[in-house]
Chain A
Amino acid sequence: MEETRNLTCIGCPLGCSIQVEMENDKITGIFGNTCKRGEVYARKEVTHPTRIVTSTVCVEHGIIPVVSVKTETDIPKEKIMDVMRSIKKLKVYAPVHTGDVILENAGGTGVNLVATKEVLTKTK
């Protein structure tokens, strides 16, 4: 099956529109990039695009009600919503420290979810 994927390179502000021609999931041509970086980017975007997911998780007894979190490394792009679903139900207890593992294997990606902020316990 032949298909053309249209991408915008994020390598620099030029933001070249890149067309990647594919045949049966194999890249047959990359056009529109101004430099090599665009090609590398396009290759990765069509074969295994990844992203870091950042969000928040509820905290009980914290000075603020949520703590910010991220996936420790990038995860496959198509798993973003799986990670979000696994975060949604979570609740942690203060204190939370930067780098604390909040959830192992988030959304079945094999990547841990870690806190990116310190949330101390509410005194009162």
Chain B
Amino acid sequence: MISSVDIVIIGGGPAGLAAAISAKKNGIEDVLILERDHQLGGILNQCIHNGFGLHTFKEELTGPEYAQRFIDQTEELGIAYKLDTMVMDISSSKTVTAMNTVDRLFEIKAKAVILAMGCRERPRGALNIPGCRPAGIYSAGTAQRLINIEGILPGREVVILGSGDIGLIMARRMTLEGAKVKVVAELMSYSGGLKRNIVQCLDDFGIPLKLSHTVVDIRGRERLESVVLAEVDSHGKPVAGTEEEYQCDTLLLSCGLIPENELSLAMGIKTGSVTNGPVVNECLETNIEGVFACGNVLHVHDLVDFVSEEAALAGKYAAEYVKSDGNHTDAGKEILILHENGVRYTVPEKIHINRMPDELTVRFRVGAVYKNCYISVYAGQKRILHKKKQIAAPGEMEEVRLSKKTLEEISELEQITVKVEET
């Protein structure tokens, strides 16, 4: 027998939890979270460092503490969840097929679905590094799980490729556990990580950061013995003669995250080529009506606070959708948000002015480091926002707020453009 549920949420990380709490607070009793892990909290369970929740709680929490605040609320509100439950399929008519050892294979017909599956690390295969494949090569997130959850130190002499936040955090973590982190190499000429992490994870421990460097060789038969780094030119090509060999037993790869969208793609959801996440409108709704997305499955966030904020909106809109019996208020014309000149993508990517809130947050990332620039928003030909930025960098998500009133005043609006301008 197929049971039915008002809102099914796929994934019980910070996004899924905040969406569930918000859906419930917006009047939907029948909410169910499906989580494949044995606990709620998602990736935060392994992020034991502090620095979470500065925006939301004005305190510096560790990942597990931040997650616990939302888990507590979930429990207090009596929201239903199933752990150790893998969602296998979602049909375009919102029937969710999942599996666990108690219920075995089961189906749930949902009125609305919220996708909150998070992201996973870019696999090593996709990185294309020459040399052998001995033991001792891990993704930074895998090493993080080994140390922080399983209590296993993967190695003693470490080289890290990639200076995103996970790589930086792991440089400190391994150092604290007594390993020697010899160097962090970064392909780009700037680090994708937060300044705070560069100072507190590398500088504090005297770990060198080599920008514009990459791994050109991996040596060792069974176990990793050394890696060779070389400088790269402006096209990312290694420069001959700059090779340096580092003895090490461990190489951590911290080369970015990809939203986990196999389920979304299989159900026919359109994804963006830059974010690899679903294309959504002002309600965080995908191209399939009643299917919403939030958190890292939508686009990779650096700050969990924004994940929670975004997810709460998805929960609210899903609740409204269910309350309206699946009949959206007349949305009116769809306006595209285009990105140009250094802006790599925007979320949302299309909006309906009728349905948008008085102020709508549009999040995006820039493609390079810009100093003393402006972030501009054009409604058709008219510039409606011109915000000065001392710096905009790919590592930090940016946002602009669109005012409904301003947009309503523009006649014949076809499209909105967000771009970086030098003056």
Which residues in A have some Cβ–Cβ distance to B below 8 Å? 7-10, 12-15, 34, 51-56, 58, 64-66, 68, 70, 77, 80, 84, 98, 116-118
Contact = CB atoms under 8 A, between A and B. Distances in A.
A54 B195 contact: no
Contacts of B203: 8
A98 B65 CA distance: 8
Nearest to A84: B176
Contacts of B147: 56
Contact of B151 (A8, A52, A66, A77): A66
A14 B370 CA distance: 10
Contacts of A12: 195, 390-391
B391 A13 contact: yes
A54 B200 contact: no
A117 B68 CA distance: 8
B27 to A, nearest CB: 31
Contacts, number: 78
Contacts of A64: 149-151
B247 interface: no
- Among A9, A56, A117, residue most surrounded by chain B Cβ atoms (within 10 Å): A117
A68 B64 CA distance: 8
Contacts of B60: 52
Contacts of B62: 54, 68, 70, 116
A117 B64 contact: yes
Which 10 A-B residue pairings sit nearest by Cβ, starting from the closest? A68-B48, A66-B151, A117-B64, A15-B195, A65-B151, A10-B196, A116-B62, A14-B391, A52-B50, A10-B195
A55 B390 contact: no
B148 to A, nearest CB: 6
B204 A77 contact: yes
Nearest to A77: B204
Contacts of B151: 56, 58, 64-66
B198 interface: yes
A74 B200 CA distance: 13
Contacts of A84: 176-177
22 contacts: A8-B199, A13-B395, A14-B391, A34-B390, A55-B173, A56-B48, A56-B147, A64-B150, A65-B150, A65-B151, A66-B150, A66-B151, A68-B48, A68-B64, A70-B50, A70-B62, A84-B176, A84-B177, A98-B65, A116-B62, A117-B45, A117-B68
A12 B68 CA distance: 28
Contacts of B198: 8, 15
Contacts of B176: 53, 55, 80, 84
B393 interface: yes
A54 B197 CA distance: 14
B386 interface: no
A35 to B, nearest CB: 9
B344 interface: no
B396 interface: yes
B49 interface: yes
Contacts of B150: 64-66
Nearest to A87: B176
A53 B48 CA distance: 10
A53 to B, nearest CB: 8
